[in-house]
Amino acid sequence: MSIIWSMTWKELIRKRVVLLTGMMTAVFLIAYWFIASTIGGEIGQFGLSENDPMYVIERFTRGMMILSLGFFFGTFVVAFLAIFSSSSVISGEAELGVLQALMPRPLPRWKWYAGRWLGYVSFGMLYALALFAAILGIAAIHAGVPRDVGSLFFAYLLFASVVPLLVTVSMLGSTFLSGIGNGVLMTMLYGGGWLGGMIEKVASQFASLQPGRAGDGIGDSLSTISGLLSLAMPADGLQRMMLDRLFNLSGVQELIGLRVDDLFLMLGVGSAPTPAFLGYAAVYAAVAFAIGILRFQRKDL
């Protein structure tokens, strides 16, 4: 299984999708640096002393904005790397005859599948770690960011958790569909989950769209739609949990009375799902992984 794992890494390094992701990341970080510099530089216009408590609050508030913007766009880069690196892992290799050459060897199919999964997941999580550190580092230069190691570690795990989730579902889809078809399906599924979260964020801004409101029931319908979309692909909910854990929002609001305005809510801050959602996402991924192995065991290559 370790051989399959290392082989997956070598293939990923040679793939154009990784090269394109690296180029996109470089462009994103350059643009992010200028955005962070602009937002963080506004603090100097207030004429506050570094010993003034308001200076610290302003730096932290600007840091929240900078980090929210960075992770809002950074999540898409991580997600698309996970999707398009693994979307043709089974169907594509079966068409090329690679699996026919490997499977006759004394290697159980589940070990091949698990080795591929470990390769894609470890590569994606390492990339997520590098991007997570880069976003934090740029924000720390221009504004205040959380410094608690425990919160940062748990936030990283949530940020990177979309990698095993998406790779698992993508590999399952690859047992049914071609590489292109699976890539399109996964993109639509991920977009649907993101749309569900966005519907929830937008609805929270309008009293007329709140669930349980008497009248035409639009709020209840939107709540049901957003809930179903989030359950179909829980990636966006995990990212909202990451931001909530990173900022320790409830503690900050209690300490300094920070108000989460509309911009923060639209970026996912202050709209985290319940802790039970994390358990649902874990079960979702585990079931998809088990079905994928069973499907691959019976697949005619």
Q: Is the pLDDT of residue 287 over 70?
A: yes
Average pLDDT over residues 167-188: 91
More confident residue, 286 or 179: 286
- Residue 109 is predicted with a pLDDT of 80
pLDDT band at 95 (very low <50, low <70, confident <90, very high): low
Task: Please check whether residue 131 is in contact with residue 25, taking contact to mean a CB–CB distance below 8 angstroms.
Answer: yes
pLDDT band at 153 (very low <50, low <70, confident <90, very high): very high
Which one-letter amino acid corresponds to residue 72? Answer: F
Q: Is the pLDDT of residue 112 over 70?
A: yes
Q: What is the pLDDT of residues 154-174, one digit of tens each?
A: 999 999 999 999 999 999 999
Task: Please check whether residue 84 is in contact with residue 284, taking contact to mean a CB–CB distance below 8 angstroms.
Answer: no
Backbone angles phi, psi at 191, to 5 degrees: -60, -35
**55/103 Cα distance (integer angstroms):** 63
Dihedral sign of CA atoms 272, 26, 190, 294 in order: negative
Q: What is the pLDDT of residues 230-257, one digit of tens each?
A: 899 999 889 888 888 887 765 555 544 5
**Best mean pLDDT range from 51-55, 242-246, 283-287:** 283-287
b/e 85-117 (16+ beta carbons within 10 angstroms → b): bbbbbbbbbbeeeebeeeeeeeeebeebbbbbb
Which one-letter amino acid corresponds to residue 268? Answer: G
More confident residue, 38 or 220: 38
DSSP, residue by residue, 35-57: HHHHHHHGGGGGT--TTSHHHHH
- Residue 106 is predicted with a pLDDT of 63
- Residue 260 is predicted with a pLDDT of 53
Among 3-7, 49-53, 274-278, the least confident range: 49-53
Task: Please check whether residue 193 is in contact with residue 165, taking contact to mean a CB–CB distance below 8 angstroms.
Answer: no
CA atoms within 13 A on the CB side of 11: 15
Which one-letter amino acid corresponds to residue 227? Answer: G
Kindly give the residue spans of alpha helices, DSSP state H, lying in the chain: 2-14, 16-41, 53-86, 91-96, 98-102, 109-142, 149-160, 162-174, 179-203, 218-232, 235-247, 249-256, 262-266, 276-298
**81/79 Cα distance (integer angstroms):** 5
Picking from 123, 73, 66, the residue whose alpha carbon sits closest to that of residue 246 is 66
